[in-house]
Amino acid sequence: MYQHINHATMVTILEEARIPFLRKPFGPVIQEIGLLIAEVNISYKKQLRLVDSPLQVTMWSKRVRAVDFTIGYEVRRAGAPPGSKPAVIADTQLATVHIKERRLQRLSEDQREYLQHWLR
């Protein structure tokens, strides 16, 4: 019916990009430590259409704190030049949670180092 990528689909695209990005620091402990979405912000600068797929998603760490961190995103259409203005700018704040104890969990040193490596 519509030929554009809607908001719900964009949230899913960000999630699908984020999972492999965070697999290295969180994959080994995923049974004990969960990632809770605290906030999602999406700003649409240009329309993205279904024919613009596959989309290019660039990610980095925007902020790293004791129990949470924020991932930044830029989304561009397929084949867009690397320096071109993104169609979508977004960020997601995630909190680390100890699943069994149902409490916030501090980032481990390895998790913190990984996320700080991608600070921008």
Q: Which CATH architecture has domain 7-117?
A: Roll (3.10)
**Where are the chain's structural domains?**
7-117
**Tally of CA atoms within 13 A in the half-sphere of 78 that contains its CB:** 6
What is this structure's pTM?
Answer: 0.92
* Pairwise CA distance, residues 88 & 90, whole Å: 6
Element of type H or E holding 23: helix 7-26
Instruction: Supply the pLDDT for residue 83.
Output: 85
Provide the pLDDT for residue 52. 84
Residue 74, helix vs strand vs coil: strand
Of residues 59, 56, 57, the one with CA closest to residue 79: 56
Q: What is the pLDDT along the chain (120 residues), one digit of tens a residue?
A: 467 888 999 999 999 999 999 999 999 999 999 999 999 999 999 989 888 889 999 999 999 999 999 999 999 998 898 789 999 999 999 999 999 999 999 999 999 999 999 999
Helix (H, G, I), strand (E, B) or coil at 105: coil
